[in-house]
Amino acid sequence: MALNTNGIIARYWHFNIWEYSFQFLYNFVFCLLLFYFNLSRNRFFGIFRENKQWIRFYLANTFLIAVFFIAGSTIHYIFFGTVHLPGTMIRGYFARFLLSTIMIAVVIRLILLMRESRNKDQINEQLQTAYLQAQLRQLQEQLNPHFLFNTLSSLSAIVRENPQQAQSYIVHLSKVFRYTLVHTGNDLVTINQELLHLSSYTQLLSMRLENSFQINIAISQETLQREIPHLSLQPLVENAVKHNIATISQPLCIDIYNENNSLVVRNNLQPLPHETEGTGLGLINLGERYKLQIQHEIEIHTTKEYFIVKLPLL
């Protein structure tokens, strides 16, 4: 409109390619810096957003916009002067910066939503992988020769001595296998459900180890309805039986109870003699699943008397 010498705009503003270039480049730099300060991970304004410090976040952006607005209009006035209509340059900068800020805010929000969606997809994929590994490991433990030998030997002895009890043994064994396979990778289950499954597994252990194995459960009714990842408790009980002596003179005692915001699984420490150190893959896998599903890490403590694992609760 300024190029049209017969137009109204041309009476107040003569087109200047250098002035136009300055406005364009200045506005472009302003847009880039808004993107940079808001989208940088763990830096600048991004820190306020990630920590949900909204007042600081909006004040920091407002300060940046104000600085650019004042600096731009001042530099413009110094190098190119002003137009005949008072306040036109200020209003022009205000309109440009307001429009730019709104458009950039929309684009930044879209980028953040895309990032969030991509992060969720990555977490779900990692969770699915971790769960499948846990499920596979659980099946391997249940199908490994040592487990099958002990299970079948116990079943054989029970069949001879008490056929009715042998039927109960087979029912519990089938429940253990079924529960391992019944849930999907992202499942959270109530502690009550986990304990129902665990009771089948501990019944097998009690029949096999008899008086050398004890399990004590003391969990409040309210806590029973809270959720934990599927297959959280059996690996811990399995781990205790696998690595500790269990005899009538030295019984293995496992305690499961709630404490503050955690579910605690504790066993008395009496390591097997000449035992080679395990890989610890079961605990590592359980810890990974908790980090992905609960966003908290499990706690592992070893004292002179006990091995303790604390599972955080939702």
Asked if 150 and 281 sit in the same domain, the reply is yes
Domain with residue 264: its CATH number is: 3.30.565.10
Confidence of residue 143 (pLDDT cuts 50, 70, 90): very low
Count of domains forming the chain? 2
Q: Are 193 and 178 in contact (CB under 8 A)?
A: no
Asked if 149 and 231 sit in the same domain, the reply is yes
Query: Is the model's pLDDT at 83 over the cut of 90?
Result: no
Six token digits for residue 19: 């002035």
> Which residue in this structure is represented by tokens 């600081």?
56
Return the half-sphere exposure (C-beta side, CA atoms, 13 A cut-off) of residue 305: 2
Asked if 188 and 44 sit in the same domain, the reply is no
> Residue 124 has what pLDDT?
76
Mean pLDDT, residues 139-148 taken together: 53
- Domain membership of residue 296 (yes or no) is yes
Q: Are 230 and 187 in contact (CB under 8 A)?
A: yes
Asked if 92 and 172 sit in the same domain, the reply is no
| Chain segment 184-209, per-residue pLDDT in tens | 555 788 999 999 888 888 888 888 88
Q: How far apart are CA 46 and CA 13, in angstroms?
A: 40
- Domain membership of residue 135 (yes or no) is no
> Residue 53 has what pLDDT?
87
Q: How far apart are CA 167 and CA 175, in angstroms?
A: 13
Q: What is the dihedral of CA 39, 45, 49, 50, to 10 degrees?
A: 80
Asked if 160 and 304 sit in the same domain, the reply is yes
- Domain membership of residue 4 (yes or no) is no
Asked if 282 and 168 sit in the same domain, the reply is yes
Q: Which residue type is seen at 313? A: L
DSSP type of residue 212: G
Sign of CA dihedral 202, 205, 211, 213: negative
Asked if 168 and 63 sit in the same domain, the reply is no
- Domain membership of residue 174 (yes or no) is yes
Tally Cβ neighbours within 10 Å of residue 274. Answer: 5
Asked if 182 and 300 sit in the same domain, the reply is yes
> Residue 137 has what pLDDT?
62
| Chain segment 91-137, per-residue pLDDT in tens | 777 888 889 889 999 999 999 899 888 888 887 777 777 766 666 56
More confident residue, 311 or 40: 311
Six token digits for residue 48: 């306020």
Q: How far apart are CA 233 and CA 63, in angstroms?
A: 53
Asked if 105 and 192 sit in the same domain, the reply is no
Checking DSSP bridges between strand 252-259 and strand 262-268, what pairing results, if any?
Answer: antiparallel
Closest of 93, 99, 34 to residue 69, by C-alpha? 93
- Domain membership of residue 138 (yes or no) is no
Could you list the residue range(s) of the whole structural domain that residue 213 is in?
Answer: 144-312
- Domain membership of residue 42 (yes or no) is yes
Q: Is 239 exposed, middle or buried (0-12, 13-18, 19+ CB in 10 A)?
A: buried
Q: How far apart are CA 108 and CA 164, in angstroms?
A: 68
- Domain membership of residue 131 (yes or no) is no
Q: What is the dihedral of CA 270, 275, 278, 282, to 10 degrees?
A: -40
Checking DSSP bridges between strand 213-218 and strand 306-312, what pairing results, if any?
Answer: unpaired
Task: Please give the angle made by the CA atoms of 3, 8 and 11, to the nearest 5 degrees.
Answer: 75
CB-based contacts of 144, cutoff 8 Å, min separation 6: none
Q: Which residue type is seen at 198? A: L
- Domain membership of residue 134 (yes or no) is no
